[in-house]
Amino acid sequence: MDCCNTPDICHGPCPELPKPRSFWQRIGDRMAVFLQSRRPATPPERSVAFTIAVIALGAKLAKVDGTVERSEVAAFRRVFIIPRAEEKNAARVFDLARRDVAGYDAWARRIAAMFKPGDPVLFDVLEGLFVIAVADGDLHEAEIAFLDEVGAIFGITPIQIATIRHRHDPGAACPPCQMLGIKPDTPLPEARKRWRELLRESHPDRAIGRGLPPEAIRLAEARTRRLNEAWEQFRNMHRDSPAQGAA
């Protein structure tokens, strides 16, 4: 086309306009924009997969000591809230999973794979499992092994697991902590300072310098060995923790 329909206004060649797009082409354009838009992802802890995995893991923990107590089921309902509309489905999953303990580690790995290492949700899940474990008034050796393994799969260090256990199990023992007179979550530099203080107080040379009898000196030697063993155990518990510096 060399000119417009109104040559008195338009001088020179008339610009070509794009051809009208069909209805389906316009729909295609809108779909392309919609699919390429960044929509906020659903948090993993709100996904169906996460809910099912947590239910299965909680059920297998309740079974690990041989029987599933009502108190453990009640603790699960109290800690892990299930929408009322999904209670029947949740109960079905729970009943299937609690038939035996086998496969609990696979469920733990599914949960761990949903989050980055160190995600607070992983700590929350482990803490919730501890609540279930102590709901019947006791924490069995099999339950401790179960929780230790789940914590390891979640990437939670032994000292962090011990700290969580200490919050929920009054009878939880941390032998090196008791020997050193510290808490399980005591920072390593602070624990080392305490260990050295106790060594100075209990060193056999002090007993010799005070003229104490041989029996007292042997007791001081034994206490020094126990202090060194406690420090070594406590340091090993912290070894895998990124929050702690090198000993």
17-59 tens-digit pLDDT: 556 655 555 555 555 554 454 555 667 767 778 888 888 888 8
CB-based burial of residue 29 (10 Å sphere; 0-12 exposed, 13-18 middle, 19+ buried)? exposed
Query: pLDDT at position 1, please?
Result: 46
Q: In a 3-state reduction of DSSP, which class is residue 3?
A: coil
Residue-level pLDDT at 175: 73
Residue located via tokens 């060649």 = 13
pTM (whole model) above 0.85: no
Across 234-242, average pLDDT? 69
Mean pLDDT within 93-116: 86
**Band of the pLDDT at 243, cuts 50, 70, 90?**
very low
SS3 110: helix
| Domain segments of the chain as ranges | 44-172, 177-238
Residue-level pLDDT at 177: 81
Label residue 69 by pLDDT band (50, 70, 90): low
> Which pLDDT belongs to residue 112?
94
Q: What value does the mean pLDDT take over residues 189-198?
A: 91
Q: Does the structure show a pLDDT above 50 at 130?
A: yes
CA 151 – CA 131 distance, rounded (Å): 14
pLDDT band at 95 (very low <50, low <70, confident <90, very high): confident
Is the pLDDT confidence value at 2 over 80?
Answer: no
Is 234 in contact with 177 (CB distance < 8 Å)?
yes
H or E segment and range at residue 144: helix 141-153
What does the DSSP 8-state code read for residue 239? T
Euclidean distance between CA atoms 156 and 165, whole angstroms: 12
Average pLDDT over residues 197-202: 84
Provide the pLDDT for residue 152.
94
Q: What percent of the chain lies above the pLDDT cut of 70?
A: 70
Whether pLDDT at 70 is above 90 = no
CA distance 83 to 55: 13
For all residues of the chain together, what is the average pLDDT?
75
Count of other CB atoms within 10 angstroms of residue 135: 20
Maximum CA extent, the chain: 125
90 touches 51 (CB < 8 A): yes
Instruction: Determine the CATH number of domain 44-172.
Output: 1.10.3680
User: Residue 150 has what pLDDT?
Assistant: 94
The length of the chain is: 247
- Banded model confidence at residue 111, pLDDT cuts 50, 70, 90: very high
Output the six-digit token pair for 109: 């790995």
What pLDDT score does 76 carry? 74
CA atoms within 13 A on the CB side of 158: 10
Residue 242 — pLDDT band, cuts 50, 70, 90? very low
- Looking at residue 67, its pLDDT comes to 66
d(CA 82, CA 181): 41
- For residue 166, pLDDT over 60 is answered with yes
- Nearest to residue 167, comparing CAs of 201, 128, 197, 220? 128
